[in-house]
Amino acid sequence: MRNSIIRGLTGSAVILLVALVFVLALLGYKALVPAQIERNTSNITRDEYAEAFAKWDSQNIGAYEVTIVDPKQEIRLRVDKRTDQLFLLSHTVLGLSESVDGLKVPLSGVTLRTFQPYTIDAIFDTIQQDVVNALSDPGLPADGVTTRYIDLHVAFDPTIGYPVHTTESLRTTLGSKEITWRTTSKDVEIKDFTVIP
């Protein structure tokens, strides 16, 4: 009887140690993933945004070609700011190429409205709005209320100043606060940028 009690206690101590190692691993995971905080976050300030936009604006680039990638599609556009025209050079949706008019016909109507948000200036406008949203303080939520917070992350090109990569995640926590789910609401990357003389 005594032996079984000692074996039981020893085994329980070993299981507790294994559980402690498991908890340490969980803490490691928590260190890698940003923990839930009751506010929006942004890796850039309004000043940093303004500085990047000023750098881009001061280039006075008249025309450029840009390749934009998001999780579903890849778009190559030519933007002619001098004539205020936009050309769709290629468009791939989920790996399948769509037919495009290229440089023959500039975009107009619905197509123009669809692809206009992918120009650098439009992306800057969106980021400006995102920064305002992210840096606004909604205050501490009441108990039992579902909260949604934005995490904005923007990287600018150090030379020209255009936004190389923009991600926006949404953290949703229900009133019970048992778990926070994070979903990516935006992931736009500028893969290639060429100035057209």
Partner 1 sequence: MYISDEYRASQQNAPAWYYILIWIGWVALTVAAYVVGKWLSDGVTSALLGNSATGRALSIEGNVQIAGLGGYAVAIVAGIVSGIVLGVAQGIVLLLLIKGSGAGEWLLATVVGRTVQWFIVYMVSMVMVGIVFDKEIPTVLLLLLILALTGALGGLALGYPQAQVFKRRANRSGVWLVANMIGPVVTALVVGMTLFVEAQNTMRDYTTLLAAVITAIATGFALLEILHHPLPAAEWQEALVWDKDEPEEEVPDTVLGSDLYSRKP
CB of 16 vs partner 1, minimal distance in Å: 6
For residues 17 and 15, what is the distance between their CA atoms, to the nearest angstrom?
5
Please identify which residue in 89, 177, 189, 193 interacts with partner 1, judged by CB under 8 A. Answer: 177
How is residue 179 written in tokens?
């778990």
**Number of residues near partner 1 (by CB under 8 A):** 37
Which residue in the set 43, 108, 129, 172 belongs to the binding site for partner 1 (CB under 8 A)?
A: 172
Distance, in Å, from the CA atom of 32 to the CA atom of 30, rounded to the nearest integer, reads 5
- Among residue numbers 4 through 43, which ones bind partner 1 (CB under 8 A)? 4-5, 7-9, 11-12, 15-16, 18-20, 22-23, 26-27, 29-30, 33-36
CB 79 within 8 A of CB 64: yes
Complex with partner 1: residue 166 or 173, whichever CB lies closer? 173
- Among 109, 110, 181, 197, which residue interacts with partner 1 (rule: CB under 8 A)? 181
Helix locations, 33-119, DSSP H? 46-58, 109-115
According to DSSP H, which parts of the chain are helical?
2-32, 46-58, 109-115, 120-135
Helix (H, G, I), strand (E, B) or coil at 175: coil
Binding site for partner 1 (CB under 8 A): 1, 3-5, 7-9, 11-12, 15-16, 18-20, 22-23, 26-27, 29-30, 33-36, 171-172, 174-184
